[in-house]
């Protein structure tokens, strides 16, 4: 009797599955599978926006809640789903090139870059993931993603090396690649560089910057541009004024009656001592510095980060602490766009504005984002 009953249940199950197969329908999902489907849909339609939050004194504000944040996407207010903190992922990109040749060597020093990176590292939260890239003749990863602070410190002290060239564009492209697998909304890049490319590189700068923008990281830049400009101006050719040597006085030189070393009328004038080739190189490099500073500033501001322009070694170390403070003051704000991401055109850019609803709270974020390709 029991065997007959089991056979009836089995036949009924087979008949049910056959009916679904013939009708082209699928069985209704279980509650658990329905939840999984919803979770996938929410994830693909969710924007994770990094937002730096500071109080009236410029310090991290630990009390931010969704009602404090106003986000406009293309001018339309969005419904905030969550405001939370997650461990930061900080990619240090260190410029160790150009020190051994050219005018950049007047200010850019691997030892100062190292000290600045060490100071920044010491100020990051303990749960921060850190990777280190250096670039000179090429761009290379010298420390993979790690929370081991001692190991990263050892790399900074022993693995950085100087080179004649500076492949900034190559480093930007490498940074974009290294950020791909890190959680979105927690990606940070800190460049310590003058941002000037040595001619002859294989990576197109515009293409590298485009790839990097797609990584949607917050960028902070400790720039050598003003530091080097101070050094270049200090070491530029000087004008020398005063009495010219007797040999420069044509009258004395041509008068055979004058005793040796004498002159009838001392001649005063100005002499300039410079190497014409060096002068051209200096002017070209100063122009590169100006363009680089503009480009670096735009990169930082577009992503919600900051550019720091120290003029001395002490300022550079101090501003490393400021950069670490910026990283530590960031939240991840999530919202589901009112205009679906799936409806976006390929490469579509959406403008984002973030404002505080609470007095005394200052918020800063990226200016927009490119809708990711599915």
Give mean pLDDT, residues 182-205: 94
Decide if pLDDT at 348 tops 70.
Answer: yes
273-287 pLDDT per residue, tens? 556 777 777 788 888
Query: CATH no. for residue 296?
Result: 3.40.50.410
205-239 pLDDT per residue, tens? 999 999 999 899 999 999 999 998 887 766 655 44
pLDDT computed for residue 100 by the predictor: 58
User: Can you list the positions of beta strands (E) in the chain?
Assistant: 47-54, 69-73, 76-77, 80-84, 89-95, 129-135, 139-146, 187-193, 218-223, 239-243, 268-272, 307-308, 330-335, 349-356, 362-365, 368-370
C-alpha to C-alpha distance for 158 and 146, rounded to whole angstroms = 17
Percent over 90 (pLDDT), the chain: 64
Give mean pLDDT, residues 145-168: 95
Residue 341 near residue 45 (C-beta atoms within 8 A): yes
Q: For residue 75, tell me if it sits in a domain.
A: no
Q: For residue 197, tell me if it sits in a domain.
A: yes
Q: Domain of 104? A: 86-233+276-330
Q: What domain count does the chain have? A: 1
R_g over Cα of the chain: 31
Q: For residue 270, tell me if it sits in a domain.
A: no
pLDDT computed for residue 27 by the predictor: 42
Q: For residue 359, tell me if it sits in a domain.
A: no
Q: How many Cβ atoms sit within 10 Å of the Cβ of residue 311?
A: 14
C-alpha to C-alpha distance for 195 and 197, rounded to whole angstroms = 7
Q: For residue 108, tell me if it sits in a domain.
A: yes
pLDDT computed for residue 280 by the predictor: 78
Q: For residue 21, tell me if it sits in a domain.
A: no
> Phi and psi of 79, rounded to 5°?
-85, 115
Decide if pLDDT at 162 tops 60.
Answer: yes
pLDDT computed for residue 41 by the predictor: 38
Q: For residue 17, tell me if it sits in a domain.
A: no
106-128 pLDDT per residue, tens? 678 999 999 999 999 999 999 99
Of 370, 369, 360, nearest to 68 by C-alpha is 360
Of 184, 185, 132, nearest to 161 by C-alpha is 132
CA 288 to chain centre: 19
Q: For residue 318, tell me if it sits in a domain.
A: yes
Of 68, 130, 107, 77, nearest to 282 by C-alpha is 107
pLDDT computed for residue 104 by the predictor: 56
C-alpha to C-alpha distance for 24 and 81, rounded to whole angstroms = 37
Decide if pLDDT at 245 tops 70.
Answer: no
311 DSSP assignment = S
C-alpha to C-alpha distance for 360 and 326, rounded to whole angstroms = 17
C-alpha to C-alpha distance for 246 and 258, rounded to whole angstroms = 11
| pLDDT tier for residue 36 given thresholds of 50, 70 and 90 | very low
C-alpha to C-alpha distance for 162 and 141, rounded to whole angstroms = 15
37-62 pLDDT per residue, tens? 333 333 468 999 999 999 999 899 99
Give mean pLDDT, residues 328-349: 93
């Amino acid at each position: 009797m029991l065997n007959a009953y089991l056979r009836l249940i089995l036949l009924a199950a087979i008949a049910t599955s056959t009916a679904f197969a013939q009708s082209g329908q699928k069985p209704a999902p279980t509650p658990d599978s329905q939840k999984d489907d919803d979770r996938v849909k929410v994830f693909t339609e969710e924007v994770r926006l990094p937002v730096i939050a500071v109080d009236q004194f410029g310090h991290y504000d630990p009390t931010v809640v969704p009602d404090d944040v106003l986000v406009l996407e293309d001018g339309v207010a969005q419904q905030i789903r969550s405001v939370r903190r997650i461990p930061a992922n900080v990619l240090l990109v260190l410029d160790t090139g150009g020190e051994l040749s050219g005018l950049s060597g007047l200010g850019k020093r691997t030892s100062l870059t190292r000290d600045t990176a060490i100071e920044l590292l010491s100020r990051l939260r303990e749960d921060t993931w850190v990777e280190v890239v250096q670039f000179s003749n090429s761009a290379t990863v010298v420390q993979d993603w790690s929370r081991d602070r001692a190991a990263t410190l050892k790399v900074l002290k022993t693995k950085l090396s100087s080179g004649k060239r500076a492949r900034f564009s190559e480093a930007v492209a490498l940074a974009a690649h290294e950020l791909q697998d890190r959680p979105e909304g927690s990606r940070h890049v800190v460049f310590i560089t003058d941002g000037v490319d040595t001619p002859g590189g294989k990576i197109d700068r515009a293409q590298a910057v485009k790839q990097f923008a797609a990584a949607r990281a917050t960028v902070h830049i400790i720039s050598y541009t003003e530091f080097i400009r101070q050094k270049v101006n200090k070491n530029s050719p000087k004008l020398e004024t005063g009495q010219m040597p007797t040999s420069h006085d044509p009258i004395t030189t041509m008068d055979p009656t004058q005793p040796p070393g004498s002159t009838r009328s001392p001649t005063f004038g100005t002499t300039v001592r410079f190497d014409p080739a060096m002068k051209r190189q200096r002017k070209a490099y100063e122009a590169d510095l100006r363009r680089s500073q503009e480009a670096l500033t735009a990169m930082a501001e577009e992503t919600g980060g900051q550019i720091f322009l120290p003029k001395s070694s002490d300022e550079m170390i101090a501003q490393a602490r400021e950069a670490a403070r910026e990283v530590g003051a960031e939240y991840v704000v999530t919202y589901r766009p009112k205009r679906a991401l799936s409806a976006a055109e390929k490469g579509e850019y959406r403008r984002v504005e973030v404002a505080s609803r609470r007095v005394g709270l200052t918020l800063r974020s990226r200016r927009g984002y490119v809708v990711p390709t599915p």
